[in-house]
Amino acid sequence: MKNIPFATIERVAKYLRCLKRLDEKKVKVISSKELAEHTKTTPEQVRKDFSYFGRFGKTGTGYDVKKLARKLESILKTQKKWNVAIIGAGALGSALARYPGFKESGYDIKVLFDNDPEKIGKKISGVEVVDIKKFGDTVKKKNIQIAIAAVPKESVNELEEAIAKSSIRGVINFVPVTLNFKTRRKIFIIDVDLAQKLYIMTYLIKRGKGMK
């Protein structure tokens, strides 16, 4: 299970999303060919990705959708529930606090942080907005491992400082800058670039067909 490429993990998360949708539609069995079509990759790639994690199905009979989804979820999530904090209670942070997809996948938004006295103490979609100055203590008390960064560019320094001093293990970063934590502790960062999807879309539109 060592040295699994990052791209494989990204694809496994895609396969999982696809399988959950199929399960909702009562699809029972899927071949690697069909799974590849749904997730815009090749059957060879699907089988290679799965080979990192052991054997998932018998050759020729396809995969059991529900079982495979459960297996992939256990690989990615490794525990039932994770607690998440959102930093920044502006438009994007508030929208993310309301996003139903997180809870459905077992990720609980426990708290929002902001530095605006107008926002602190209020609730957004049932989630309290707490002073960013109380970040470290709150994260500890609420057993939070992951932060979602959704502050304006100008507040990035304050965010970096709060995270560096806390016990946060990973950051999903929506701020269009490269985060830099002054700590020797390992903090994982995943950057989300919403404009990237538009770049891919305009490419698709201009090329028309001809995509594998």
Q: Which residues bind its own copies (CB under 8 A)?
A: 2-7, 9-10, 13-14, 16-17, 21, 40-41, 73, 75-79, 82, 84, 91-92, 94-96, 98-102, 104-105, 107, 145-146, 169-170, 172, 176-178, 186, 188, 190-212
Please say which residue, 57 or 170, places its beta carbon nearer to its own copies. 170
Within the chain, strands assigned E span 29-30, 63-64, 82-87, 107-114, 123-124, 127-131, 146-149, 170-173, 188-191
CB of 45 to its own copies, least distance (A): 8
Q: Are strands 123-124 and 29-30 parallel, antiparallel or unpaired?
A: unpaired
CB of 52 to its own copies, least distance (A): 11
Please say which residue, 86 or 130, places its beta carbon nearer to its own copies. 86
CB of 36 to its own copies, least distance (A): 11
123-127: long-range pairs with CB below 8 Å, 24+: 124/89, 124/94, 124/97, 124/98, 125/94, 125/97, 125/98, 127/86, 127/97
In single-letter form, the type of residue at position 45 comes to Q
CB of 58 to its own copies, least distance (A): 26
